[in-house]
């Protein structure tokens, strides 16, 4: 069974948002058009408490987008984004939500970030997504959303590791950094994911 996983299509990740992904809103028509092709559609929301330790604002003196060590893991320091309950954290109003059956929230623990839809960055806590998908009979997982070089990439890595046949809808994602995304795509392909257009 085929499912579509829509990663973090939230106001803060599109132009005008706190952590805007260039052209992030351009994926909306494609994502909406592809939904009827899948028996199951699931979404994620980046959902941080206001004091989340991935925010540069929590580390005075450290520049935005610099990398620090956070409890033993490298952590990029982001602008405050997707704060729980804020407008920026809402799914984009242009996203057709009618067929989305479940929304998994991540990044809720203040001390650890969670790029993947499946696990936090330390692989300590599961969101329950893999068990949910297996329970629904999903074998093939198609990924789209934002950002291609962070949450979509790490979700695809975990999807592979969890044994799903994994597909990346390359037209339906946009990266923060193009070079990083090129590396991510090559890495995913090498690990057995399929990159598909359209």
Q: Which residues bind ligand VGL (CB under 6 A)?
A: 8, 13, 46, 78, 146-147, 150-151
Cβ nearer to Zn ion, comparing 57 with 140: 57
Q: How far is the CB of 106 from Zn ion (least distance, A)?
A: 8
Q: Which of residues 60-119 bind Zn ion (CB under 5 A)?
A: 107
12 among known catalytic residues: no
- 46 part of the interface to Zn ion, by CB under 5 A: yes
Helix (H) or strand (E) holding 130: helix 129-135
Helix (H) or strand (E) holding 28: helix 28-34
Q: How far is the CB of 98 from ligand VGL (least distance, A)?
A: 23
Residue pair 149/156 in contact (Cβ under 8 Å)? The answer is no
> For residue 136, what are its two tokens?
């629904």
Candidate list 82, 149, 151, 158, residue with the active-site label: 151
Q: How far is the CB of 169 from ligand VGL (least distance, A)?
A: 15
Cis, peptide link before residue 119, omega less than 30° from 0: no
Q: What residues contact residue 183 under an 8 Å CB cut-off, 6+ apart? A: none
> For residue 111, what are its two tokens?
């001390």
Cβ nearer to ligand VGL, comparing 40 with 43: 43
E strands along the chain, which residues? 2-7, 40-46, 67-70, 73-76, 100-106, 140-146, 165-174, 194-196
* Residue with the CB atom nearest Zn ion in the bound state: 46
Candidate list 8, 12, 80, 113, residue with the active-site label: 8
Helix (H) or strand (E) holding 186: helix 178-190
151 among known catalytic residues: yes
> For residue 174, what are its two tokens?
């946009």
Q: How far is the CB of 137 from ligand VGL (least distance, A)?
A: 27
Q: Which does 88 bind (CB under 5 to 8 A by kind): Zn ion, ligand VGL, none?
A: none
CA–CA dist 145, 119 (Å, integer): 17
Cβ nearer to Zn ion, comparing 83 with 130: 83
Cβ nearer to ligand VGL, comparing 78 with 167: 78
Q: Which of residues 130-159 bind Zn ion (CB under 5 A)?
A: none
- What are the residue numbers of the active site? 8, 106, 151
Query: Which residues are near Zn ion by CB under 5 A?
Result: 46, 107
């Amino acid at each position: 069974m085929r499912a579509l996983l829509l990663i973090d299509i939230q106001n803060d990740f599109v132009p005008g948002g706190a952590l805007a992904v260039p052209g992030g809103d351009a994926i909306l028509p494609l994502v909406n058009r592809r939904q009827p092709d899948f028996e199951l559609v699931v979404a994620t929301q980046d959902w941080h408490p206001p004091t989340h330790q991935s925010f540069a604002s929590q580390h005075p003196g450290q520049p935005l987008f610099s990398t620090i060590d956070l409890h033993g893991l490298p952590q990029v320091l982001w602008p405050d984004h997707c704060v729980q309950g804020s407008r920026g954290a809402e799914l984009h109003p242009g996203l057709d939500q009618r067929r989305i059956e479940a929304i998994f929230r991540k990044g809720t623990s203040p001390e650890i970030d969670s790029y993947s839809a499946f696990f936090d960055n330390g692989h300590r806590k599961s969101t329950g997504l893999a068990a949910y998908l297996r329970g629904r009979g999903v074998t093939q997982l198609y990924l789209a959303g934002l950002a291609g070089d962070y949450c979509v990439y790490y979700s695809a890595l975990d999807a592979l590791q969890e044994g799903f046949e994994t597909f990346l809808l390359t037209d339906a994602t946009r990266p923060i950094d193009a070079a990083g995304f090129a590396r991510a795509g090559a890495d995913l392909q090498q690990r057995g994911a399929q990159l598909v257009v359209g």
